[in-house]
Amino acid sequence: MKALKITQYGDIDSSLAFQEANVPEPGASEVLIKINAASINPIDLMVMRGEMKALKKLNLPVGIGRDLSGEVVAVGSGVSQYQPGEEVFARVGEDHVGTLAQYLVVDATHLAKKPENLSHEEAASIPLVGLTSYQALIQVAGLKKGEKVLIHAGSGGIGSMAIQLAKAYGAYVITTTSSANVDWVRKLGADQVIDYKKENYLDLLSDIDVVYDTLGQQYTMDAFKVLKRGGRVVSIAGVLDPLTARELGINWFFRKLIGLKSRPVLKQAKDKNAFYRMVIMQANGDQLSELSALYRDKIISPVVDKVYPFSQSLAAFSYLNSKRAKGKVIISLNSGD
């Protein structure tokens, strides 16, 4: 089979290459999937460039890609919930990364049945961004009906899904975006849209219940300026908090460094009696099934920007890297190449 792999750390053209590989066999708790479509995400670029080496150093070459939609080919001896021929989708666990391949084995607990009303390309757009926002907004922040939530970068892959998810849970959604995307994110369900090219959200907002920090750096610190006292900041791009660092199994030395780096943010949280948590998404088939129902019932719609054939995977990564995508970038393995 053909698979796209990271062969060395670096940029897109020097790091990624197609290689031939054997079709894997599923272990007892695994399922072999014929992949029809995969989406790509900023984390794939970060890993490729070596920006995640502090957390996990790769034994190159390795596969790339974490989202998939496809068809069950075979199941392990301990798997009874899936049968060959069923259509499924998943955000695979870190031990099974490599969805840009014609076949992949996946932990059965990370799978969910694909919504019947979606194509494989649409379904592949969901898992990582869906689970990330579900775990950040619903599981960790506990977003409630009627609460005000600020979601940065509403036109991106994460933002376009998070807006819809927050609305599905009855929140009042505020988002930031560029001038060209104001009307588009409003159609996704945003109640208030701030054009960051013309307005400063810090001048317009106050008493926000939940800030979903998707950008990090100064945005993490500034979240507390618009947050109500006792509010919640959940970040997917800010500094690690001590609890998340422990859950990741980071050794004591790096946790010490993380503690020093996170001190300014944690002080801001303490001064405002607020909650801060860095969310590292975990693959979870049960939660993905919950999300699947929202798509099946058309409460949330997939947001796909462009679909590339497998042979043009490097072009797809270049487009993702341009940061111009409105929604998700998909690679189709159904194109016959």
> What pTM value is reported for the model?
0.93
Q: Give the Cβ contact number of residue 177 at 10 Å.
A: 27
Q: Which tens digits make up the pLDDT trace of 141-152?
A: 999 999 999 999
Contact 31, 89 (CB under 8 A): no
CB-count burial class (<10 Å; 0-12, 13-18, 19+) for 150: buried
* H-helix or E-strand spanning residue 300: none
Q: Give the Cβ contact number of residue 201 at 10 Å.
A: 20
The structural domains of the chain, ordered by start, are: 2-126+302-332 (3.90.180.10), 128-278 (3.40.50.720)
The radius of gyration of the chain's CA atoms, rounded to the nearest angstrom, is 20
Q: How much is the pLDDT for 258?
A: 60
Q: Which tens digits make up the pLDDT trace of 170-227?
A: 999 999 999 999 999 999 999 999 999 999 999 999 999 999 999 999 999 999 999 9
Q: How much is the pLDDT for 259?
A: 60
Identify each DSSP E strand in the chain by its residue range: 2-6, 16-20, 30-40, 62-63, 67-75, 87-91, 103-107, 111-113, 148-151, 172-177, 192-195, 208-213, 227-235, 275-278, 304-309, 328-332
Q: How much is the pLDDT for 256?
A: 59
Buried b (16+ CB within 10 A) or exposed e, 228-241: beebbbbbbbbbbb
**Which has the closest alpha carbon to 100: 158, 164, 18?**
18
Q: Give the Cβ contact number of residue 116 at 10 Å.
A: 10
For residue 319, give the 3-state DSSP assignment: helix
Q: Output the six-digit token pair for 328.
A: 């998700």
**For the chain, which residues score pLDDT lower than 70?**
54-55, 243, 245-261, 335-337
Contact 269, 232 (CB under 8 A): no
